[in-house]
């Protein structure tokens, strides 16, 4: 059985005080839970204070929301993998839909970032997902497959095992519209089948595929009950320690009963 993995993407939220409060609140909320991996991804500027507050070996692992693919040099405004590992950051999100569609990142750039992250020992969370018009025109599988193939280009099976895929339908992000569990399961199963073709059945069976898009305590059990949904990438509901903690507890209890 795959170990569930629930991560909060704080996006461009919190401040120096509330970031530390939120992280320490999550640590308290997940105390005693060992059957779920948990992470939070604060803004870059609060990574250090959050890691200092929770400790680098805390059950709450810390991730960054983005990375640049070069090691160092004249890249104004960018943050390298080495800078993140220096702070003991564990995970890094690549290809989030807001970076794809607001900032304009390409699959090629996302692939380079994912390689830089993994090469430095960070664990990437590679996000994929279709726009509303792509879903409505029946292109979901095509779009998501293309993003998975391009995002994972050049990775071996052993490397792929260290990468979490987050399926986040863009129309469900921050809109309150969650994909139904059937919609989520259908795409997750398609991604796992694709991973089996790209690598092998055993690798595909071990890889973690998270769902993201208006995930909250009320829909956690239903989403996490899907055979191929192994975790959640949580935006809004991850900004409150009690709601995020509740999602982790629900998942822990569900998995304990399986």
Q: Which run of H or of E encompasses 5?
A: strand 5-9
Q: Is 96 part of the annotated catalytic residue set? A: yes
Measured in degrees and rounded to the nearest 5, phi and psi for residue 80 equal -95, 165
Handedness of CA 57, 61, 64, 67 (dihedral sign): positive
Half-sphere exposure of 173 (CA within 13 A, CB side): 25
Q: Smallest Cα–Cα separation from 75: which of 46, 108, 127, 116?
A: 116
Taking CA 23 as the corner, what is the angle to CA 56 and CA 175, rounded to the nearest 5 degrees?
A: 125
The catalytic position among 105, 130, 134, 168 is: 168
Please, what is the minimum distance in Å from the beta carbon of residue 174 to ligand 13P? 4
One of 63, 124, 236, 245 touching ligand 13P (CB under 6 A): 236
- Asked if 212 touches ligand 13P (CB under 6 A), the answer is yes
One of 40, 215, 224, 250 touching ligand 13P (CB under 6 A): 215
Please, what is the minimum distance in Å from the beta carbon of residue 245 to ligand 13P? 15
Please, what is the minimum distance in Å from the beta carbon of residue 135 to ligand 13P? 16
Residues 87-126 contacting ligand 13P, CB under 6 A: 96
Measured in degrees and rounded to the nearest 5, phi and psi for residue 164 equal -95, 135
Please, what is the minimum distance in Å from the beta carbon of residue 159 to ligand 13P? 22
Q: Is 52 part of the annotated catalytic residue set? A: no
Please report, as ranges, the residues that interact with ligand 13P according to CB under 6 A.
9, 96, 168, 173-174, 212-215, 233-237
Residues belonging to the active site: 96, 168
């Amino acid at each position: 059985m795959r170990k569930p993995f629930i991560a909060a993407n704080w996006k461009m939220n919190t401040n120096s005080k509330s970031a530390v409060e939120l992280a320490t609140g999550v640590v308290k909320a997940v105390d005693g839970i060992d059957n779920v991996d948990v992470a939070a991804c604060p803004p870059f500027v609060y990574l250090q204070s959050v890691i200092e507050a929770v400790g680098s070996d805390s059950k709450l692992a810390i991730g960054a929301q983005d990375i640049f693919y070069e090691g160092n040099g004249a890249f104004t405004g960018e943050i390298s993998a080495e800078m993140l590992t220096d702070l003991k950051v564990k995970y890094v999100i690549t290809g989030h839909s807001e970076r794809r569609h607001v900032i304009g990142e390409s699959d090629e750039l996302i692939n380079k970032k994912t390689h830089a992250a993994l090469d430095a020992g960070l664990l990437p969370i590679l996000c994929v997902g279709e726009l509303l018009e792509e879903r409505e025109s029946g292109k979901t599988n095509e779009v998501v497959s293309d993003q998975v193939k391009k995002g994972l280009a050049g990775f071996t099976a052993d490397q792929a095992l260290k990468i979490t895929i987050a399926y986040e339908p863009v129309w469900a992000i921050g809109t309150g519209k969650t994909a139904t569990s059937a919609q989520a399961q259908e795409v997750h199963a398609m991604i796992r089948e694709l991973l089996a073709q790209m690598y092998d059945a055993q690798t595909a069976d071990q890889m973690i595929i998270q769902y993201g898009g208006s995930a909250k305590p009320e829909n956690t059990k239903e989403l996490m009950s899907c055979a191929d949904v192994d975790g959640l990438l949580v935006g809004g509901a991850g900004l409150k320690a009690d709601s995020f903690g509740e999602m982790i507890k629900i998942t822990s209890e569900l998995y304990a009963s399986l």
